[in-house]
Amino acid sequence: MKTRATAMAPASVANVAVGFDLLGFSVAAAGDEVTVERTSKPGVEIGDVTGVVTQVPKDSAKNTATAGLVRLAHDLDLKFGFRVSIKKGIPLGSGMGGSAASAVAAIVAANAVLDKPLTEADMLSYSLIGEAQASGSYHADNVAPSFKGGLTIARVRSIDDRPRVELVSLPAIPETYTVLVHPQLILETKTARGVLKADIHLKSHVEQAANLAGFIAACYRQDFDLLKRSFADVVIEPQRAHLIPGFHDVKDSAMKAGSLGCSISGAGPSVFAWVRGRELAEAVEKAMIGAFARAGLESKSWVSSLTDAPAAKVIA
């Protein structure tokens, strides 16, 4: 029986333009690593925190990596505890699913040291509890792809006073690459959610629903033309665009360079694009970086294949 394990969970892009709080995909860009060690004393304590972020809540019930473990220990009435060390590879407030990655990595690592492994459904549920510490609500569009890998659609239901995730993996269209560009700017998820209106016009709802349906159909039909026609957010993006300096120029530059679609990654400020072919993806990447530079922002970028999107795993 292992008493110590380290897991890595990848960054992810949530919403994917047309699927607010539903769609997401993992990216081979950055990731968080969490080490969980069993202790003789019940409870969850936070150990070392290293990486690109070191200032995190020390209260285990409020930390994204440990809140799910606190609930897990309570539900299972564990007679031992956990010491948790965190290595952050995903910047804070980046729109790259950092809170979800920490939450997922912690549960995956803890599962490796439990006497009886959790079900996949339970692992997702406890990960979601951790991630909600950052977002303020239950939505699995980052947790699901970070845990499962690839492109997913996930719906959250509440069962027995605990969030449950219904997850469906969608096929990635071959030859499709994602360009992910992170400007040197912090935008907290709660701030980005705070600008959203509670209601939308019926016309916008119908248009967005049609785009989501077209997007999913395009994935199954491997249809680039339908994908490009459907890749438009008419509800969330217009409300958040002003939070990201130079966003419209970044998007226009990506589309002119040959992108299939471009939008805000999660809550932002990162922006992503889907592109057909590696060579064209690199051209789109250059165009997006240049547009952010014109807005006075330095940025970091990644190009990765959607057909080789990583999942969370135990690495030690």
What stretch of H or E contains 151?
A: strand 151-159
* CA 144 vs CA 21, 29, 101, 133: distances in Å: 11, 17, 10, 16
Give the model's pLDDT for residue 55.
Answer: 84
Give the model's pLDDT for residue 159.
Answer: 64
For residue 44, give every residue at least 6 positions away whose Cβ sits within 8 Å of its Cβ, in sequence order, or none. Answer: 60, 66, 69, 70, 73, 81, 82, 84
What is the value of pTM for the model shown? Answer: 0.95
Q: How far is CA 194 from the centre of its chain?
A: 19
Q: What's the one-letter identity of residue 14? A: A
CB–CB of 71/20 below 8 Å? no
CB–CB of 195/241 below 8 Å? no
- Shortest CA distance to 29 belongs to which of 208, 292, 266? 266
CA atoms within 13 A on the CB side of 134: 32
**Gap between the Cα atoms of 197 and 298, Å rounded:** 30
Give me the tens of pLDDT residue by residue for the chain, a chain 316 residues long.
Answer: 799 999 999 999 999 999 999 999 999 989 999 999 999 999 999 999 999 988 888 899 999 999 999 999 999 999 999 999 999 999 988 999 999 999 999 999 999 999 999 999 999 999 999 988 887 788 899 999 999 999 999 999 876 678 899 999 999 899 999 999 999 999 888 888 889 998 999 999 999 999 999 999 999 999 999 999 999 999 999 999 999 999 999 999 999 999 999 999 999 999 999 999 999 999 999 999 999 999 999 999 999 999 989 999 999 9
Largest CA distance in the chain: 59
